[in-house]
Structure 1
Amino acid sequence: MQLRFTSISHHSATVSQRERFHFTEADKESFLQGLQEAFPDITGFLLLVTCNRTEVYFESSITTAGQLRDYLLTHSPGKPGTREKNLFTCCDATGESLQHLLAVSAGLESSVIGDAEIHHQVKQAYRRAIRRGRQGSLLERGMQTVFRSHKRIRNETAFRDGTTSTAYKALKMVQDSFGTDAKNKRILLVGAGDIIRQVLKYSPRFGFRDVSITNRTEAKMMALVRENNIKSWPWVRLRENQLEAFDVVVSAVSDCPGLITGGIAADRKVLLIDLAVPGNIDKSLGAHKHVIRCDLDTITAQLEGTRAKRKAAIRTVERILAEELQAYMDWVQKEPFRQLLARRKRSIRKQLQSTYPLASPEQIDQIANRMIREVIRHNEEPPIHYQDEGNSRPQLPVPCSN
């Protein structure tokens, strides 16, 4: 049995090439069901799909990574062809497969180094495997290694400190500016491009209760309103700078310099975050007494500090992953011994049940477990035959009286 994987990612393929292997939630379920039927020797699998990669980690005795890749080529939603074979990485070795999974989960393989979102995505993929009863043994132990590594990286390095996402940092500024009251502030998002979409992606993590969006193309605005369960705000009111009701304005509209020049509340703190180039929010607004104005330069300067910390921590992260991988491989190498113990335990239980027909299953298990622990301690094979007289028979535990 080996842990294996096949992968297509931003390292080997363009966005348009990767799109052919992107799975919706419904696609994932039908694909995994077909996978189970096509390859019955696969006892565990994990389908990881993000904007940068599609990977399948699986545990099998016969099926190879190349066969799994070929199945992906013919069963992916985008109907790719065999010409995409060379875009994939395939691996049939347990150690190398887990090494890759650890690096991916840690964010070392992400387009943004140290990306924290990938660990959440790996965890979600594993939960799907558990729901289908396909976590396997090598994969299950591997995921325990992933979780332990994640905890060590968070506690022992600065690799997880801060963020390198502009959108996330913008929302963090809202939280930092208003503290515990941030969730109740009225927030207006201006635009419907990639940055605003990223802001909406991260927004639920902060628990903001009152978010509105406005955009010059109403259809795009309404699509985001429906997708994210937020409010719409008329574009014409933005152009008239009727913004007194909002505590926070995050703007990222292309080719709209000087879009916001006034109309903000004058009697309370207001946070203006300008993520556009050229800027949407007039710089002079930052001179107002209660106004905090931030732009891309402000955010980039803070993100650069985070990137530097992460870069400095990479060597420590790699050491942690190497240590955890070695612990996993030590566990794998002991698998034959664990199988022997399992067979011996079944034999012991059978003999005990025959010798003590009146004993409860719990009592039998206690005796069997005790004997197996002795075997592990002394590295001896357990005796499985007992005499009927004297003290050579193991003593059953005395049950508690009610």
Structure 2
Amino acid sequence: MNLQMIGCSHQDAAVEFRERISFSGDQLVQALDDFRDRFPAAEIVLLSTCNRLELYASSNDESSGLDRDAVATFLAEQRHLSPDEVIDRMIYRIGPEAVEHLFTVAASLDSMVLGEAQILSQVKQAYDLACTSGSVGPLTHAVFQAANRTAKRVQQETSIHRRRVSVPSVAVGEVVPEVFDSLSDKHVLICGAGEMSEETLPYLKQAGATQITIINRSAERADALAARFDVATAPWTSLNEKLIEADLLIGTTSAADPIIDAARFASIEGKRYGRVLLVLDLAVPRDFDPKLGTFSNVYLYQIDDLKAACERNRREREKEYPKAQQIIAEETEKLILAINHRSTGPVIQRLRNHAEEIKREELRRLQNKLQQLNVDDAVLNEIDKSFGRLTNKLLHPPLASVRDDAAEGHQRGLVEALRHLFKLGD
């Protein structure tokens, strides 16, 4: 197992350094090409996100010189840094520790928000890009495919990914289903065009909302945000009109005072003809008068209600962390065993073939002599079986030791010893 990883993330490097070491899409492709040019026999996958940069590499060619200094120097040259700066600011993992780290990242246990789903897709994209560029090989194939399986196990066997911990995700993912079966036929009105609106829109889209309107005092900002998500806008002066047709009202503005008070809503309530209105107030200060919750058929959720739900979910996620860690430990051990056993297979097969050739040669010589003495065929068959049993008994102890050594990570180097003792080649 000669996989190695060098990288950094929000856990151990400042954003200024992460910005300098990160790669854009085109730069990633070029870096993979450059790495293969420098290390033709090596494998590489390069993961670059806003929060982390990690290079996974491996080579079976001992003469390639692919070690910590080599990968650090490569990264430094790519991003115009000094090798010492890269080594000082980036963590380095090798062998099982590199595998366990990747599994932890893919399962979102190392993310800024524990359990966020985006990182697994980013790991897949990094692996797919490396496949497309021809940069992966047997080991990186096995490791990244196992990382995907491990992340899926964590998703299925723990509730880490089912516990939403951001205000918009709780609002849309947990509160909305309590009121509406679907958003596909509902009118959604978002007041505000800032960061909270931007964060909320993807969740609304995922929930099936198709009739979304953004209303904002700055029409320019509203238009820019609406264009990104392919939704509609309306002038701020039409707030009452849009309020009448809305089924879901979301507040995200930075207004100092409520933009809709009880008197304003009372003036249009009759035109809604008793339709249910779900109000999600995500703004601080609040966008909607708390008295809106006293109107019949109005369900008001304010930011403090949603934050409390986020905190409960965060605590529940943390309870599942040890279980997720155990899954990662199991999958890491399973992969290491599989890789170690796989590496012994060719050597064991060559030894068996070598022993079989010697057995057949000696058996042929003996049978020729015995046939001249008119020995019965049944006796010859019994001798053949005896030679086979003898060969198997002689091979069993060394092969069992090799398999045990593989299970322990080849600590005693018995595979290499077997190659040299019996001259089995590489």
**TM-score normalized by structure 2?**
0.72
Preserved contact between residue 42 and residue 58 of structure 2 (Cα < 8 Å) = yes
After superposition, residues 27-66 of structure 1 pair within 5 angstroms as: 27-43=27-43, 45-61=44-60, 62=64, 63-66=66-69
Report how far residue 94 of structure 1 moved: 1.9
Stretch of structure 1 that moved more, 129-138 or 304-313: 129-138
Task: After the TM superposition, list the runs of 4 or more consecutive aligned residues in structure 1 that deviate by more than 6 angstroms.
Answer: 341-347, 378-381
Preserved contact between residue 213 and residue 232 of structure 2 (Cα < 8 Å) = yes
Preserved contact between residue 163 and residue 316 of structure 2 (Cα < 8 Å) = no
Q: Counterpart in 1 of 2:25? A: 25
Q: CA–CA distance in 2 between the matches of 1:343 and 1:300?
A: 64
Preserved contact between residue 32 and residue 130 of structure 2 (Cα < 8 Å) = no
Q: Counterpart in 2 of 1:314? A: 321
Q: Which amino acid aligns with 1:137?
A: P
Q: Counterpart in 2 of 1:97? A: 98
Q: Which amino acid aligns with 1:14?
A: A
Q: Counterpart in 2 of 1:286? A: 293
From 313, 330, 336, the equivalent of 1:329 is 336
Structure 2 spans left out of the alignment, 5+ residues: 355-391, 400-426
After superposition, residues 139-288 of structure 1 pair within 5 angstroms as: 139-173=140-174, 175-238=176-239, 242-261=242-261, 262=265, 263=268, 265-288=272-295
Report how far residue 221 of structure 1 moved: 2.6
Q: CA–CA distance in 1 between the matches of 2:47 and 2:53?
A: 6
| Equivalences, count | 347
Change (3 A) 1:254 1:334: same
Q: Counterpart in 1 of 2:72? A: 69
Q: CA–CA distance in 1 between the matches of 2:30 and 2:59?
A: 20
Q: CA–CA distance in 2 between the matches of 1:20 and 1:218?
A: 35
Report how far residue 324 of structure 1 moved: 1.0
Report how far residue 198 of structure 1 moved: 1.8
Q: Secondary structure at the match of 2:102?
A: helix
Report how far residue 100 of structure 1 moved: 0.6
Report how far residue 342 of structure 1 moved: 7.6
Q: CA–CA distance in 2 between the matches of 1:131 and 1:16?
A: 30
Change (3 A) 1:306 1:25: same
After superposition, residues 368-387 of structure 1 pair within 5 angstroms as: none
Stretch of structure 1 that moved more, 227-236 or 66-75: 66-75
Preserved contact between residue 174 and residue 271 of structure 1 (Cα < 8 Å) = no
Stretch of structure 1 that moved more, 134-143 or 175-184: 175-184
Report how far residue 280 of structure 1 moved: 1.0
Report Cα offsets for 1:313-369 as digits up to 9, x if no partner.
11111111111111111112223323337879999xxxxxxxxxxxxxxxxxxxxxx
What's the % identity of the aligned pairs? Answer: 27
Change (3 A) 1:13 1:284: same
Q: CA–CA distance in 2 between the matches of 1:346 and 1:178?
A: 70
Q: CA–CA distance in 1 between the matches of 2:24 and 2:227?
A: 18
Stretch of structure 1 that moved more, 106-115 or 252-261: 252-261
Report how far residue 60 of structure 1 moved: 2.7
Preserved contact between residue 66 and residue 90 of structure 1 (Cα < 8 Å) = no
Q: Counterpart in 1 of 2:387? A: none
Q: CA–CA distance in 1 between the matches of 2:85 and 2:254?
A: 35
Q: Which amino acid aligns with 1:245?
A: E
Q: CA–CA distance in 2 between the matches of 1:220 and 1:83?
A: 44
Change (3 A) 1:174 1:314: closer
Preserved contact between residue 266 and residue 290 of structure 1 (Cα < 8 Å) = no
Q: Secondary structure at the match of 1:111?
A: coil
Stretch of structure 1 that moved more, 54-63 or 296-305: 54-63
Report how far residue 140 of structure 1 moved: 1.8
Q: CA–CA distance in 1 between the matches of 2:351 and 2:223?
A: 65
Stretch of structure 1 that moved more, 117-126 or 31-40: 31-40
Structure 1 spans left out of the alignment, 5+ residues: 348-374, 382-402
Change (3 A) 1:225 1:323: same
Q: Counterpart in 2 of 1:128? A: 129
Q: C-alpha root-mean-square deviation of aligned residues, in Å?
A: 3.0
Q: Secondary structure at the match of 1:292?
A: strand
For the pair shown, the structure with the greater C-alpha radius of gyration is 2
Q: CA–CA distance in 2 between the matches of 1:80 and 1:276?
A: 42
Q: CA–CA distance in 2 between the matches of 1:281 and 1:269?
A: 16
Q: CA–CA distance in 1 between the matches of 2:154 and 2:211?
A: 35
Change (3 A) 1:124 1:183: farther
Report how far residue 268 of structure 1 moved: 1.2
Q: CA–CA distance in 2 between the matches of 1:345 and 1:205?
A: 58
Q: Secondary structure at the match of 1:198?
A: helix
Give the structure with the higher percent helix: 2
Q: Secondary structure at the match of 1:58?
A: strand
Preserved contact between residue 174 and residue 248 of structure 1 (Cα < 8 Å) = no
Q: Which amino acid aligns with 1:197?
A: E
Q: Which amino acid aligns with 2:191?
A: V
Q: Secondary structure at the match of 2:41?
A: coil
